[in-house]
Amino acid sequence: MRLDDVDLLDLDRFVAQEHYDMFALLRREDPLHWHEEPDGPGFWNVVRYDDLVEVNRQAEIFSSEVGGISIAEPVAIEEMTGSFDLRGVLMLTTDPPKHTRYRKLVNRGFTPRMIGLLEKYLRHRTTLIVDEVIEDGECDFVIDVAAELPLQAIAEIMGVPQEDRQKLFDWSNKMIGIDDPEYASDDNRAAATELYSYANSLAAQRREDPRDDIITRLINAEVIGDDGQPTTLNEFEIDAFMLLLSVAGNETTRNATSHGLWQLMTNPDQFERLKADRDGLMDTAVDEIVRYASPVLHFRRTVTADTEIGGRPVTAGDKVVMWHVSANRDEDQFEDPDRFDVSRSPNHHVGFGGGGPHFCLGANLARMELRLVFDEVCRRLPDVTPTGEPARLRSNFINGIKHLPVRFTPGNRVDPGPLPD
């Protein structure tokens, strides 16, 4: 492969898993690679670990708000998805100090202490999820297992009734999978509108019936506006929080879980090690799953002042794309980076971001969910094997697995009783 063979806009090459070879070439030969763009100005590609961390931590120079976080320009995103321009409203597309104010509103729901309080509840739900498939001896692991726990968790945290969680799943798939033939349809543009309408309805309910959930906290929050005066969140801002938590809260962990099982099944020596020493290896295995999966492939930034990346100049207004999936395979950071190793330590991956203000809010929750699922898999589905290849999402943004058919020796339900308080 040569440099002129690199095409990071060809989504089918990501489905075919060719991007790993493209990034390995760029890390060796052109670590700040300029990529032409048919319908845009072109963009720089940050593919090395150290460079990505440096960009991520300099929010004042590399903005999430000026041009958004996707390679495509914001106007194109609006046209494709039917959503609104979320710059300056969605936490992912705001810069400090506004980003800091927004993050404080929901941060309390994702602290280690709060996540710890959820553990008994989510462990119970994990048992129930496996109960639903264990007697059958086969399932679509993505739909039946991997998607369920993050959906149930984020619904609980947000205050979404559990019977409505499938709506979050469907809306998320349609918004993220707009370039995938399985999800692309005339309904894609309607998904964002339906989600916003649902958020407004739920907010109205919480004004009448406040509860201990994030939606109640948001509608009652007092924030400092751009004019320096105290105010409350408007409808659009609440919609944006609902969008962020619904999509980010289930897509990333669902895909990390699916990738994790695929790697364990295709690296049976690592699966055996984990089953033999769950207590000793589960934490390192979880971080290796996140590193290897890199559920979010990239985030974009826009340069606000002339500067350098890795000693090379970039100019104000330039588009910069940070490829987390490449940084997580950087040979200078990780020994034998293409090897899946459940005992890898240290493992300073950037699967939750490379530090800075946009470090993943839900990292503690995601790690706990992954621990719970794989502990249950190791105990109750120890001989799980694939019956087909994973069906991969056609995207260069989300490293998604849509389906993963598996089989296992049928077992008995546990029926753990009612959910704990």
Domain boundaries, the chain: 3-407
The whole-number pLDDT of residue 82 equals 55
Contact 326, 312 (CB under 8 A): no
The whole-number pLDDT of residue 289 equals 98
The whole-number pLDDT of residue 244 equals 84
Q: Is 356 left (phi over 0), alpha (psi -120 to 50) or beta?
A: left
Token pair, residue 167, equals 């709506």
Cα dist from 404 to 112, 271, 286, 302, whole Å:
31, 17, 19, 36
The whole-number pLDDT of residue 330 equals 98
Contact 88, 234 (CB under 8 A): no
Fold of 3-407: Cytochrome p450 (1.10.630)
Predicted structure pTM score:
0.93
Angle at 81 between CA 80 and CA 82, to 5 degrees: 105
Which amino acid type is present at position 384? V
**pLDDT averaged per 10 residues, the chain (length 421):** 94 97 98 94 97 95 93 67 70 89 80 82 94 97 96 89 89 86 77 87 91 87 73 84 84 95 98 98 98 96 97 97 98 97 97 88 92 98 98 96 98 83 62
Burial class (CB in 10 A: 0-12, 13-18, 19+), 177: buried
The whole-number pLDDT of residue 268 equals 98
Q: How many residues does the chain have?
A: 421
Cα dist from 275 to 146, 280, 285, 379, whole Å:
19, 10, 11, 7
Handedness of CA 345, 373, 367, 51 (dihedral sign): positive
Which amino acid type is present at position 230? P
Q: Is 166 left (phi over 0), alpha (psi -120 to 50) or beta?
A: alpha
